[in-house]
Amino acid sequence: MSVKQIIKKCEQLYNDIDLFYVQEWKEKHKSRAIGFMPVYVPRELIHAAGMLPVGIMGAGDLLEIIKGDAYFQSYICHIPRSTIELGISNRLDCLDGMLFPAICDVIRNLSGMFKLMFKDMYVKYIDFPQNFLKTLGGNFYQHELRTMSDDFSQINNVDVNRDDLNRSIKLYNENRAVIKELYDLRSQNPHLVPGSELYLLMRASNVLEITEYTALLREYISETVCEKRPQRDNIRVVVTGVFCEQPPLALIRALENSGCFIVDDDWMLGARFILGDVALSNDPINALADAYLNHTVCTASKYDQDGNKGAFLIEQVKKAKAEGVIFAAPSFCDPALLERPMQQKALNRENIPYTSFKYSENTGQFQVIKEQTGTFADSIKLWGDS
Amino acid sequence: MEVRKEKSMTLQKDMFANHFKRLSRAGEEGRKVVYTFVPGNLNELIRSFDMLPVHPEINALQSAMRKKSANYIREAEKHGHSEDVCTYVKCDVGMMKTGNIGPTGEKLPDPDLLLLSYTGCFTFMKWFEILRQEYNNPPTVMLQVPYQSDGKITPEMTNYVADQLRDVVVPAMEKVSGTEFDAEKLRTFLASSARAEDDLVAILASAKNKPSPIDAYFGGVYYIGPIFTAFRGFDSCEEYYRVLRAEIEERVNNGQGPITPEGQMSEEKYRLVVEGPPNWTSFREFWKMFYDESAVIVASSYTKVGGIYDNGFRHDPARPFESLADYCLGCYTNLNLPSRIDLLEKYIKDYDADGFLINSIKSCNSFSAGQLLILRELEDRTGKAGGFIESDLVDPRYFSPANIKNRLESYFQMIDAKRRTVRNA
Ligand code: SF4
Ligand code: SF4
């Protein structure tokens, strides 16, 4: 496939809020599917049980909210209402379960709402460890993982063994490696991997079966390096704060059109949450827990045990040779918005310029944001080297 | 009207005044100070090391009652904090940025230890990360309390918390305080806690009487003060609840209603259950909207944020760490949404309420996300009138008296209409 065809396919998947792909996959494989909310879930466990992990990142600007608003006050972010809307409009019927990772109280309470509203569905809230000692948080998390793995075996009527888990871990390791390659390529040659394309590719991780997905990414990489695309005089930025409710695609395009190359980001973070490989071992559950405790990204929902707020972001900036940071956060998002002043303080110490705005997944107007980031880009071009 | 001060009120006032005095002298007396949260607080453990707790939420609500929160919030927003986030955090940050003057006008000491009891609210974590950065990295301990997502406490959950207490929290406290852990002292405190808890349960249950001798929300927030904060485990706390219980039993015997800021309520027209925290910036005005209509709150979820005791839980000297763990795990906001609904439904029935009301707090996701579903479910299950109002804890910009009053008036009319329907049926 050409780059154009690959992106077209990804865009189709992005627009597929009825989850036709999932329905077809289930039909074809005579199997089941488990949905999950942002940010991270150990998809390996779902895969090892022969099921399809399906990321549900709200409905963006693709769905008119008719009933979902009746479940949430105006001062709560948008993603839970569009997720409820997806549920009550039967679009999640093809999912046999939903996982709610512990990232904030909205997602947490949403898990209880699902328990009440969708009684036939397996609903699991995943409490991740905030203590990172193997004997404490590690033990607790291993128990969570084993419980989930047992539940998945039961749901799909299979017996998941060590080899199944290791096979899945291997496939996800490969996938993470390709994603890293893609991100590295973009960071080195941002004009070859436009942010909107990379975003669509990442969104495909929500549904595509993992081997198919890895193959698609490989194909994109080999095709895009041959593309002739214009070099632009854009500034290089890291976009942060978009780990849960996703920015509309048009917003990502607007950022780029305002003169920014996005050279790193935290959207679709779950697919990049584990850094490096999960070990293949005799005890794969232990390996997954270990990876979580020791080799994951820093993000707002994870406790910063070292008291070194902003260090990870600064590292991202340096590694990607970014010239500035764009703090984008969903309105009313406590995790992103409470994190922000701490990170900004850290950036100030390093003299890294930044700009900030809020959005909502269904924002339709970007003119103000575009002007703001455009001015930011201009000021960096003008004063950046001084 | 002159309101007679009950003995319990004087006791409580003195307890808090002394506590803040001791805090202001902590530096010169070499006493260590632990900042920690109300839900899942480890008062007995902290005090067993002879350290003093500071509760930032209490400072925030006190600032609001003293009309200082607006300025503090503005100060925090000036420092880059978003208008969208929890106002408790901003009120606290603003207070710190303007000299950290506590509720009694005395300066609060800086923390020697940030004890992040991570119970029932995600924002707690961000809040203490912010304080940690602001105070240049003082010793900080995270105590993760798993969420009761399936509506129960499993042995793994209890063990996880108890193990963190043993392996992380106690060593950190030993280091900061320079004192060795004294298991006997902890046990003594826990036994005292349990006795005070018995009295608290009796006090809150007194609202089952008709008329109710207490208001279990507006009055209730005063009743929970000592036991939810710095005093649980102490003789003074036991004495307070003993005295309060006796006062309330006397009210029951005399058939008296609750005491309000304007004297005793003479009539009990509406019995309500309330979900959600109160508004603190206009607390008196808010309360008045109820007692003016002869509405009394007979049970509230807010009086359970620092521990639910009417389900039988007590701190237990025989299982010190495990019972502290179960205490942390059992606080109201650590219950999942279905359990919260079950509890409210039980209160509506047990306390023979005419209806229930949700005060939805704009900046508190922990309470507010999902409350509209709570409203529907409770209406369906109980057939009682459900009301919904919106305000904020400490940001006066979000307290709109005319709006709330209007809503309450329609709500009381709704209860009247339901009553007529039942009578005519
Ligand atoms: S957008 Fe923020 S507040 Fe909303 S569900 Fe996601 S993490 Fe929570
Ligand atoms: S979000 Fe709610 S529970 Fe959490 S700190 Fe703020 S007011 Fe308290």
In this model, does residue B235 exceed pLDDT 60? yes
Q: Residue B33 burial by CB count (10 A; 0-12/13-18/19+): exposed, middle or buried? A: buried
In this model, does residue B422 exceed pLDDT 90? no
A332-348 burial code (b ≥16 CB/10 A, e <16): bbbbbbbbbbbbbbbbe
What's the rounded Cα separation, in Å, for the pair A62 and A70? 19
What's the rounded Cα separation, in Å, for the pair B360 and B274? 10
Which single residue is written with the structure tokens 């003195």? B14
What's the rounded Cα separation, in Å, for the pair A108 and A126? 9
Is residue B423 within 8 Å of B393, Cβ to Cβ? no
End-to-end CA distance of chain A: 45
Architecture of the domain made up of A17-156: 3-Layer(aba) Sandwich (3.40)
3-state secondary structure B322-365: HHHHHHHHHCHHHECHHHHHHHHHHHHHHCCCCEEEEEEECCCH
- How large is the average pLDDT for residues A287-298? 98
B5 pLDDT band, cuts 50/70/90, is: confident
Is residue B214 within 8 Å of B248, Cβ to Cβ? yes
CB contact under 8 A, A127 and B125: no
In this model, does residue B371 exceed pLDDT 70? yes
Report the residue from B89, B336, B371 with minimal CB separation from A338: B89
What's the rounded Cα separation, in Å, for the pair A258 and A234? 9
Q: Which of residues 112-151 of A touch B (CB under 8 A)?
A: 112-113, 115-117, 124-125, 127, 129-131, 133, 135-137, 139-140, 143
Report the residue from B130, B142, B150 with minimal CB separation from A338: B130
- The helix (H) or strand (E) run that includes residue B385 is strand B385-391
CB contact under 8 A, B369 and A76: yes
CB contact under 8 A, B370 and A344: no
- Ligand lying closest to the C-alpha of residue A243: 1
From the CB of A37, is ligand 1 less than 6 Å away? no
Which single residue is written with the structure tokens 């002869």? B294
Q: Residue B388 CA to chain centroid, in angstroms? A: 20
Please report the beta strands in chain A, taking only residues with DSSP state E, as ranges in sequence order: 33-36, 52-55, 97-101, 122-126, 235-240, 260-264, 324-330, 354-359
Which single residue is written with the structure tokens 């603190």? B280
Q: Residue B195 CA to chain centroid, in angstroms? A: 19
Chain B nearest C-alpha distance from A82 (Å) = 14
Coil, helix or strand for B386?
Answer: strand
CA distances in angstroms from A380 to A316, A386, B382, listed in the order given: 18, 10, 61
Number of H-type helices and E-type strands within chain B:
18, 10
Residues B91-130: tens digit of each pLDDT: 999 999 999 998 888 899 999 999 999 999 999 999 999 9
What's the rounded Cα separation, in Å, for the pair B412 and A258? 54
Q: Return the residue of B nearest to A117 by Cα.
A: B373
Q: Residue B50 CA to chain centroid, in angstroms? A: 24
- With CA atoms as reference, report the closest residue to A87 among A100, A104, A76: A100
- The helix (H) or strand (E) run that includes residue A334 is helix A334-349
DSSP per-residue letters across B112-171? SEEEEEE-S-THHHHHHHHHHHHTT---EEEEE---BTTSS--HHHHHHHHHHIIIIIHH
B1 pLDDT band, cuts 50/70/90, is: very low
Question: What pLDDT does residue A386 have?
Answer: 44
Chain A nearest C-alpha distance from B120 (Å) = 8
How many other β-carbons are positioned within 10 Å of the β-carbon of residue A306?
A: 11
Length of chain A: 386
Ligand 2 site residues (CB inside 6 A) read: B 57, 86, 88, 121, 123-124, 333, 364-367, 393
**Amino acid type, B257:** G
What's the rounded Cα separation, in Å, for the pair B129 and B135? 10
User: CA B404, A75, A70: angle at the middle one, nearest 5?
Assistant: 80
Number of H-type helices and E-type strands within chain A:
14, 8
CA distances in angstroms from A137 to A45, B174, B332, listed in the order given: 19, 22, 23
What's the rounded Cα separation, in Å, for the pair A215 and A126? 30
Alpha helices in B135-282 (DSSP H): 155-164, 170-177, 183-205, 220-223, 225-228, 235-253
Is residue B304 within 8 Å of B276, Cβ to Cβ? no
Residues A226-263: tens digit of each pLDDT: 999 998 999 999 999 999 999 999 999 999 999 999 99
Q: Is A21 in the B-facing interface, judged by CB distances under 8 Å? A: no
Share of residues in chain B with pLDDT > 90 (%) = 96
Domains in chain B, start-ordered, CATH in brackets?
Answer: 7-177 (3.40.50.11890)
Residues A162-207: tens digit of each pLDDT: 999 999 999 999 999 999 999 999 999 999 999 999 999 999 999 9
Q: Which of residues 297-356 of A touch B (CB under 8 A)?
A: 300-301, 303-305, 307, 309, 329, 331-335, 337-342, 344-345
A212-232 burial code (b ≥16 CB/10 A, e <16): ebbebbeebbeebeeeeeeee
From the CB of A110, is ligand 1 less than 6 Å away? no
- With CA atoms as reference, report the closest residue to A136 among B168, B108, B83: B168
Coil, helix or strand for B389?
Answer: strand
Is residue B246 within 8 Å of B203, Cβ to Cβ? no
Mutation choice for B interface testing from A39, A75, A305, A337 by most B CBs within 10 A: A75
Residues B279-329: tens digit of each pLDDT: 999 999 999 999 999 999 999 999 999 999 999 999 999 999 999 999 999
Q: Residue A74 burial by CB count (10 A; 0-12/13-18/19+): exposed, middle or buried? A: exposed
What's the rounded Cα separation, in Å, for the pair A328 and A340? 9
Q: Residue A163 burial by CB count (10 A; 0-12/13-18/19+): exposed, middle or buried? A: exposed
pTM of the entire predicted model: 0.97
Strands B355-361 and B263-264: unpaired
Chain A nearest C-alpha distance from B338 (Å) = 6
What's the rounded Cα separation, in Å, for the pair B304 and B201? 11
Question: What pLDDT does residue B424 have?
Answer: 82
Is residue B156 within 8 Å of A137, Cβ to Cβ? no
Is residue A181 within 8 Å of A315, Cβ to Cβ? no
Strands B52-54 and B113-118: unpaired
Q: Return the residue of A nearest to B363 by Cα.
A: A75
Is residue B374 within 8 Å of B387, Cβ to Cβ? no
How many other β-carbons are positioned within 10 Å of the β-carbon of residue A353?
A: 16
List of residues 6+ apart from B144 with CB closer than 8 A: A129, A130, A131, A137, A303, B118, B160, B161, B164
From the CB of A57, is ligand 1 less than 6 Å away? no
What's the rounded Cα separation, in Å, for the pair A248 and A233? 24
- How large is the average pLDDT for residues A330-350? 98
What's the rounded Cα separation, in Å, for the pair B259 and B250? 13
**Residue B276 — left, alpha, or beta (φ > 0 → left; ψ -120 to 50 → alpha)?**
left
User: Using only C-alpha atoms, what is the Rg of chain A?
Assistant: 20
- With CA atoms as reference, report the closest residue to B357 among B217, B213, B205, B220: B217
Question: What pLDDT does residue A385 have?
Answer: 54
